[in-house]
Structure 1
Amino acid sequence: MFTRLLPVILTLTGALLMMTGPVRAEQNTAFHLAANSELENTERNARDKSDTTLTPEDQKETKKDIKITAKIRQAVVRDKSLSVDAQNAKIITRNGVVTLRGPVANEAESLKLQEVAKKMRGVVQVNNQLENKAP
């Protein structure tokens, strides 16, 4: 049965390819990224390419730093007055120094996140690198 269907399947496949054109791997981003792990960082911001700013991958986590980050994240997510961007801000803790990165709606949100981080036990310093979408 299959041998009789094979020519039909091949004909239909060829017709579909002729109608849609060939699909190159470069056009399929998911395939391309999976095939080439060096390109997984294409979404990084331009400023991150120099490796001079912290990213969550740079967090040399100690148990204390993990607890600090978790407590800050919990407090930020619980605060429903914050925008989704603010609730998803990057929180990076290294030796008690907290770095906040990412977009927030305005200066008030930036300051609010900074204050939340400062109030956490174990925080030595807060480096606020949040970006305000509105002036």
Structure 2
Amino acid sequence: NVRDRDDATLTPVDQKETEGDITITAAIRQAVVRNESLSVNAQNTKIITRNGVVTLRGPVESEAEKIKLHAIAKQTPGVVQVDNQLEIKAP
């Protein structure tokens, strides 16, 4: 992805390998995939957790999806903060 070429942005490779961070990422991913109201783009969002801080990246279809993904991440046990970098896909 063009947006991932910038070394300042987190990518899935930056995921911490601690048990807690892996558990958080897995829980968010499961909740997102189970949510049938989300678009394929939203279900394929990049989820990166580092020390309890979750970064969400990628395109979504609407502001409502962006808010819903943020809420899912924020409600996940162990999450300290959510950095919502989701972008609304251009029409």
Asked if Structure 1 and Structure 2 have the same fold, meaning a TM-score greater than 0.5 normalized by the shorter chain, the answer is: yes
Residue 50 of structure 1: CA displacement? Answer: 2.7
- Structure 1 residue ranges without an equivalent (≥5): 1-43
- Structure 2 residue ranges without an equivalent (≥5): none
Kindly report structure 1 stretches of 4+ aligned residues shifted beyond 3 Å.
none
8 Å CA contact 2:16, 2:22 repeated in 1: no
Matched, 1:75 2:31: yes
Matched, 1:100 2:53: no
3-state SS in 2 of match to 1:71: helix
Match of 1:133 in 2: 89
Q: Provide the alpha-carbon RMSD of the alignment.
A: 1.3
Residue 133 of structure 1: CA displacement? Answer: 1.3
Among 15, 19, 29, the alignment partner of 1:63 is: 19
Among 87, 90, 110, the alignment partner of 2:43 is: 87
Rg larger for: 1
Whichever residue aligns with residue 97 of structure 1, its letter is V
Whichever residue aligns with residue 108 of structure 1, its letter is A
Q: Aligned equivalents of 1:95 and 1:64: distance in 2? A: 8
Aligned length: 91
Specify which structure has the higher proportion of helix: 1
Q: Aligned equivalents of 2:63 and 2:90: distance in 1? A: 8
Whichever residue aligns with residue 60 of structure 1, its letter is K
